[in-house]
Amino acid sequence: MPVIDQIELFHVTVPLPAPFEPAWVPGGARTKTSFYLIHLVTDDGVDGWSAFSASGRERAGIGDSLAGLFLGKDPTDIDMVHERIKIMAVGGIRNWWIEPAFWDIKAKIAGLPLYRLLGGTDDTIRLYLSSGEVRGLSERREEAEARLEEGFGTMKVRVHDWDEEVDIAQIQDIATHMAGRMSIAVDCNQAFRLTQHGDAPLWDLPRAKRFADAAADVGLAWVEEPLFMEWYEAMAELTAYSRVPIAGAELHTAGYPELKYMVEKRCYAVFQPDAMWAGGIRQCMQVAELCRQHGLKFSPHSWGNGIGFIVNAHIMAASGFAGEMPFEFPYCPPGWTIEARDALLEAPWQHDRGSFHMPTAPGLGFTIDQKALSQFGACFFRAKRRESHWMPEALMGVVGTREQKKS
Ligand SMILES: [Mg+2]
């Protein structure tokens, strides 16, 4: 039985080529993207990686918990991994994002790409272009024309205005302009509120219904997260009312138990849980199965870094829904480029005329670019079975070590 012999944690910050203003963080322009990176190594030298968005140093202290819970444990025992992530969550922070690193090891030991290990057969999945910014009408048209030229058949736009007429004008304009050439979806980003840099409108059910009506009238592919994530009754009412599919559920960190309730209640017509937030790969696969049983659609969220993209792509390829729904491709130049998004990977994930060919290498299927890691990353925790090094100084930009011998 292989066991986890080493755990490393990194904090990574990659500069963006141009400022990026995500629609879901009103008033916040980003000039860099930051994330945590976990690296697990077994006693046989098989390794696994995963990564999760960082807003600051909020996960600087998790190394001691990780070391205590996972060193010496069988990385292929996913039940154990889930139980211990739940133990960590008792401390108040849900770290589902580490679970894919165990799957990476498990699939490498099996000698299979992860989606194959999960039973998937879809080697190529259709993508939709996921734009991240609210843009003016003419810039939006230019963006859609450029992505159409690159081969995308579906594009998801963003709205986030205080005035609902502005939001409705946005979707009417782009859907009419691209009619017959490109399918348009829209993300309202109402499910969670990131108002730390500026306030944002909070839609109520009547506004969401009016917007869904307008979206249906211009033939949108789906409307994403038009209501707050805890308003289950209102979501179910809207989904039953709407002529256009209502989608969502990306960041439900309680995972499967909450998502099962939402599926059974038919809160959405399309479920989009992201493994990094919503219960890891295991629970997202369970949600996909449940969606199948209930006649609903499934396509995971993937916005974040290139590792989050590929983790969720494996779920999509294994879910059986790849022939029914396109999968999210986060790409919003000039700020959010493929190269910046995937800066730590030896080979960035490229699309092929709007489709994605699943990697053939065992595991998650990527190699970390060690040069990029040393350029953009700082290791702040390293533990082996007999010793651990806590390096908080690394997060301050100065790499240091302090040894803590474990008995
Ligand atoms: Mg979304």
Query: 11: CA distance to ligand 1 center in Å?
Result: 25
What single DSSP character describes residue 49? E
Query: 248: CA distance to ligand 1 center in Å?
Result: 7
The structure's pTM equals: 0.95
Give residues whose Cβ lies within 5 Å of ion ligand 1: 187, 224
Query: 190: CA distance to ligand 1 center in Å?
Result: 9
CA dist 144 to 172, 176, 206, 269, 394, Å? 14, 12, 29, 25, 42
- For residues 85 and 65, the answer to whether their CB atoms sit within 8 Å is no
- For residues 16 and 335, the answer to whether their CB atoms sit within 8 Å is yes
Query: 139: CA distance to ligand 1 center in Å?
Result: 21
Query: 372: CA distance to ligand 1 center in Å?
Result: 29
- For residues 400 and 393, the answer to whether their CB atoms sit within 8 Å is yes
Residue pLDDT tens, the chain, 407 long: 999 999 999 999 999 999 999 999 998 899 999 999 999 999 999 999 999 999 888 998 899 899 999 999 999 999 999 999 999 999 888 999 999 999 999 999 999 999 999 999 999 999 999 999 999 999 999 999 999 999 999 999 999 999 999 999 999 999 999 999 999 999 999 999 999 889 989 999 999 999 999 999 999 999 999 999 999 999 999 999 999 999 999 999 999 999 999 999 999 999 999 999 999 999 999 999 999 999 999 999 999 999 999 999 999 999 999 999 999 999 999 999 999 999 999 999 999 999 999 999 999 999 999 999 999 999 999 999 977 766 666 665 533 333 333 33
- For residues 82 and 89, the answer to whether their CB atoms sit within 8 Å is no
- For residues 35 and 42, the answer to whether their CB atoms sit within 8 Å is no
Query: 212: CA distance to ligand 1 center in Å?
Result: 16
Amino acid at 260: K
Q: Which residue spans of the chain are classified as CATH 3.30.390.10? A: 4-112+369-405
Residues in the chain: 407
Query: Where are any strands of DSSP class E within 145-237?
Result: 154-158, 183-187, 223-224
Query: 154: CA distance to ligand 1 center in Å?
Result: 15
Query: 309: CA distance to ligand 1 center in Å?
Result: 13
Q: At what angle do helices 78-89 and 99-110 cross, to 10 degrees?
A: 170
Query: 24: CA distance to ligand 1 center in Å?
Result: 9
Please state, in angstroms and rounded to a whole number, the distance separating the CA atoms of residues 235 and 227. 7
Q: Which residue spans of the chain are classified as CATH 3.20.20.120? A: 116-357
The architecture CATH gives domain 4-112+369-405:
2-Layer Sandwich (3.30)
Task: Specify the DSSP element, H or E, that contains 34.
Answer: strand 30-42
Sheet holding 47-53, edge to edge: 47-53, 30-42, 4-20, 377-384, 387-390, 403-405
Pick the CATH number of 116-357 from 3.40.50.300, 3.30.565.10, 3.90.230.10, 3.20.20.120: 3.20.20.120
Q: pLDDT tens digit string along 296-355? A: 999 999 999 999 999 999 999 999 999 999 999 999 999 999 999 999 999 999 999 999
Query: 131: CA distance to ligand 1 center in Å?
Result: 10
Query: 172: CA distance to ligand 1 center in Å?
Result: 20
Please state, in angstroms and rounded to a whole number, the distance separating the CA atoms of residues 401 and 389. 6
Amino acid at 120: G
Please state, in angstroms and rounded to a whole number, the distance separating the CA atoms of residues 59 and 254. 18
Query: 250: CA distance to ligand 1 center in Å?
Result: 7
Please state, in angstroms and rounded to a whole number, the distance separating the CA atoms of residues 199 and 368. 38
Q: pLDDT tens digit string along 115-172? A: 999 999 999 999 999 999 999 999 999 999 999 999 999 999 999 999 999 999 999 9
Residue 207 CB: number of other CB atoms within 10 A?
17
Please report the sign of the dihedral spanned by the C-alpha atoms of residue 342, residue 348, residue 351, residue 357.
Answer: negative
